Amino acid sequence: THFGYRTVPLGEKQTLVDDVFHKVAKRYDIMNDLMSGGLHRAWKNVLISKLRPPQGDRPFRLLDLAGGTGDVSFRAVTAGGTGTRAVVADINTEMLAVGRERAEKRGLSDKVDFREANAEELPFEDASFDAVTIAFGIRNVPRIPLALSEMRRVLKPGGQALVLEFSKVDVPLLDKIYEFYSFRVIPELGKRVAGDGEPYQYLVESIRRFPAPDVFAQMMRTAGFARVTATPLTGGIVCLHSGYRI
Ligand code: SAM
């Protein structure tokens, strides 16, 4: 399969990723619930509890990178006070279009903006956000160090970066179940529900190739983040990374 993308040039990796999310945009949210058994909601809630958007009218500006259909931003502006605003930035117009529609339905259009942007080259000013989040997005970016230094650049001093990503399961037995689930069940579900197994094959491969938590933590430090932590969730199925610009 051409999804053995480790051998493809960087530019082509992005094309492949764009193709995947172009195909799944309309069904993204339902597939997310189905494939994670609703767990992605709990993981996103942990992310928001670490983000701690302020209550009241204190201004708080969040950049939700690779924000797709807006989940993290909707949660952040709902959890925060009236001063909390979010920008969903994503490279894929289809995902953003679904996001805009959802924002409207929830009455959150005045609090959440949608912008087409590449995580490797952000169209935002230096030190313009209080926090940057990226949930299940960083593993899709061809040059992760570039994205990390862009995240740091747009953060205000004292601002926090939070990265939620799939990780390595480190619990005996759960690792076997997880392996079976991801290599057998997920592509099959993709084929049956979304009509195409290949995007989900990509999903599983990209998770397997993503660096382990300690390696990723080191990448964050190299990008200039301080007080870097990695918190495994659900036996290591996902990991929440945090770092600050100081
Ligand atoms: N954050 C959302 C969530 O948790 O539901 C969406 C995650 S989705 C698995 C990954 C997103 O990353 C897709 O919407 C895709 O378009 C976006 N993406 C991939 N490469 C990107 C890049 N280079 N810059 C910005 N976004 C990118």
pLDDT digits over 205-225, tens only? 888 889 999 999 999 999 999
C-alpha distances out from residue 139 to 29, 38, 171, 203, Å: 19, 21, 22, 10
Instruction: Count structural domains, the chain.
Output: 1
Q: Which of 74, 90, 141 best tests ligand 1's pocket when mutated (most atoms within 8 Å of CB)? A: 90
Reply yes or no on whether the pLDDT at 236 is more than 80: yes
Could you read off the pLDDT of 119-145 as tens digits, one per residue? 999 999 999 999 999 999 999 999 999
Return the structure tokens found at 68: 């797709």
What pairs with residue 135 in β-bridges? 164
Q: Which domain holds residue 192?
A: 5-244
State the CATH number of the domain containing residue 23: 3.40.50.150
Q: Are 197 and 215 in contact (CB under 8 A)?
A: no
ipTM over 0.90: yes
Which residues does a 6 A CB cutoff place in the pocket of ligand 1? 14, 17, 21, 66-68, 71-72, 90-92, 95, 118-120, 135-137, 140-141
**Who has greater pLDDT, 204 or 61?**
61
What is the pLDDT at residue 7? 52
Return the structure tokens found at 22: 């172009």
Choose among 101, 128, 100: nearest CA to 115: 100
Angstrom distance (rounded) from CA 108 to CA 102: 9
Reply yes or no on whether the pLDDT at 13 is more than 50: yes
Reply yes or no on whether the pLDDT at 96 is more than 60: yes
